[in-house]
């Protein structure tokens, strides 16, 4: 008994300290996040800001609170201020930044305003802020710096300027800097003078080159380089590796290239590891070695697990498998597991890609009215499932209560008295009762004189 009392006392000593520690930890994390008001309209002109626009009633905003507090703690001490603003209270500021949903995350630095569209994790938020805060273009002094950058970055762009053609160099530089500003969070942009390159270098300046997949590709510069869209489109097509890792964070960005996606959907089971490696090796080889043939049409990529592919197909399939997806019309083509399980070669993949391009491959999905309706139902059910798994109480209030009210109304309609039946009228007629027809043609029981007696006699017992 004494042991139990001792344990109880020890528990009640430790419990308040534990709660207090958690409260202090939570408050200390929140201390790194600045709560903004309408004074932000003047504050935003100076410094770098990573701002969450939220609504007090938003469940997703509440779910983001601990993550956002950790982001503030991670970036504390840097030049980036992590903050939050109640968009329902300060609606003028929210309207200024085009806020339409909650939570919305934006990086703000002077005229540079960039919306976050990735996964809501601490790492993704921090990487986004650091990319958005850096200079759009970094100037390199020598070829050693250039080589180091090429080793560190999987994809990077270089503007090579030349003193031999200063007018064209200046025009290209202006367009290049504008493209880099618009895509500062999407890739890495550098500038180097041709004089810093080795004499045997084959780059004819002025030029824009991209380094990726252990090779160099060049943008064809013409005398008319004032069109930003031309260079921007080229950068957009080249900013991914030949065989890129596709995630929920970058899937939308990849679709903006306008290319079809050749997705290699790998199995999560360890027993299929060797098959995953074999298929990946074949697809990567075709992506790199057949660049001239397919680069304009396909962006090759891989993903572990079929979550994204399942949402696209609205069905499941055994992995690994290949999926060529056209984001413009939502048509997809399949190389199923049974077709690549035993024997699968580069030539078979090339034939499959050619069949897709020439319309010989069988397509699925599409953008018909039926597919749109089916997709709407699919996404609705998926949204309900996500809300249920993340916020079951909110799901009950949103769906359970209206369903309960609707069920009650249906029940009341079912048990409601619909009035006398024809058999009831016939039974009363047999007993001598008289009926009259009202204006609507409905039969009513005729009142007797006794029922309308103005001076009824009291009944005596």
Catalytic residue IDs: 58, 61
The residue assigned the tokens 């991914």 is 240
Q: 325 to each of 43, 237, 349, 354, 358, how far by Cα in Å?
A: 45, 16, 15, 14, 15
C-alpha 263/C-alpha 244 separation (Å) is: 10
Sheet strands side by side (includes 298-304): 243-245, 298-304, 260-266, 321-326, 331-335, 364-365
C-alpha 323/C-alpha 301 separation (Å) is: 10
Handedness of CA 62, 64, 69, 75 (dihedral sign): negative
Going by their DSSP bridges, the two strands 80-86 and 34-35 should be labelled as: parallel
DSSP per-residue string spanning 239-299: SS-TEEEP-TTTHHHHHTT-SEEEEEEE---GGGHHHHHHHHHHHHHHHHHTHHHHTTTEE
DSSP per-residue string spanning 154-198: SEEEEEEE-SSSHHHHHHHHHHHHHHHHHTTTTS-EEEEEGGGS-
**Residue of 300, 303, 231, 213 whose CA lies nearest to 266:** 303
Going by their DSSP bridges, the two strands 298-304 and 260-266 should be labelled as: parallel
Burial string for 296-327 (b: 16+ CB within 10 Å, else e) reads eebbbbbbbebebbeebbeeeeebbbbbbbbb
Which stretches does DSSP call E strand in 307-347?
321-326, 331-335
Phi, psi (degrees; rounded to nearest 5) at 421? -85, 170
C-alpha 242/C-alpha 343 separation (Å) is: 24
3-state helix, strand, coil in the chain (%, to 5): 50, 20, 35
The residue assigned the tokens 């004499």 is 199
């Amino acid at each position: 008994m004494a042991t139990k009392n001792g344990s109880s006392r020890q528990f009640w000593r430790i419990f308040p300290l534990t709660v207090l520690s958690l409260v202090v930890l939570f408050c200390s994390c929140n201390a790194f996040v600045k709560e903004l008001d309408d004074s932000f309209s003047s504050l935003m002109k100076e410094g770098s800001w990573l701002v969450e626009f939220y609504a007090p009633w938003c469940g997703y905003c509440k779910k983001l609170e601990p993550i956002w507090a950790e982001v503030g703690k991670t970036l504390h001490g840097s030049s980036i201020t992590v903050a939050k603003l109640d968009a329902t209270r300060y609606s003028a500021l929210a309207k200024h930044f085009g806020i339409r949903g909650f939570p919305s995350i934006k990086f703000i630095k002077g005229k540079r305003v960039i919306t976050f569209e990735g996964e809501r994790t601490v790492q993704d938020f921090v990487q986004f802020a650091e990319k958005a805060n850096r200079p759009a273009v970094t100037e390199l002094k020598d070829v050693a710096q250039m080589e180091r950058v090429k080793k560190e970055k999987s994809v990077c762009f270089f503007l090579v300027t030349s003193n031999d053609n200063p007018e064209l160099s200046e025009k290209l530089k202006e367009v290049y800097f504008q493209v880099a500003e618009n895509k500062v969070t999407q890739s890495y942009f550098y500038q180097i003078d041709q004089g810093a390159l080795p004499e045997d270098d084959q780059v004819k300046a002025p030029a824009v080159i991209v380094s990726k997949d252990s090779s160099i590709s060049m943008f064809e510069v013409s005398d008319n380089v004032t069109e930003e869209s031309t260079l921007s489109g080229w950068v957009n097509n080249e900013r991914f590796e030949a065989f890129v890792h596709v995630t929920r964070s970058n899937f939308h960005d990849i679709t903006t290239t306008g290319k079809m996606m050749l997705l290699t959907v790998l199995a999560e089971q360890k027993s299929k590891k060797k098959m995953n490696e074999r298929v990946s090796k074949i697809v990567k080889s075709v992506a790199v070695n057949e660049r001239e043939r397919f680069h304009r049409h396909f962006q090759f990529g891989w993903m572990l697990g079929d979550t994204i592919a399942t949402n696209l197909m609205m069905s499941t399939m055994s992995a690994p498998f290949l999926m060529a997806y056209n984001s413009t019309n939502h048509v997809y083509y399949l190389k199923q597991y049974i077709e690549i399980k035993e024997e699968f070669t580069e030539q078979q993949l090339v034939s499959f890609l050619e069949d897709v391009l020439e319309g010989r491959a069988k397509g699925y999905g599409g953008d018909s009215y039926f597919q749109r309706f089916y997709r709407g139902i699919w996404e609705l059910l998926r949204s309900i499932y996500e809300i249920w798994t993340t916020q079951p109480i909110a799901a009950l209030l949103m769906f359970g209560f209206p369903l309960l009210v609707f069920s009650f109304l249906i029940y009341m309609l079912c048990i409601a008295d619909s009035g006398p039946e024809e058999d009831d009228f016939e039974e009363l007629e047999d007993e001598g009762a008289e009926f009259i027809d009202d204006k609507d043609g409905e039969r009513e029981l005729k009142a007797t004189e006794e029922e309308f007696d103005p001076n009824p006699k009291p009944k005596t017992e």
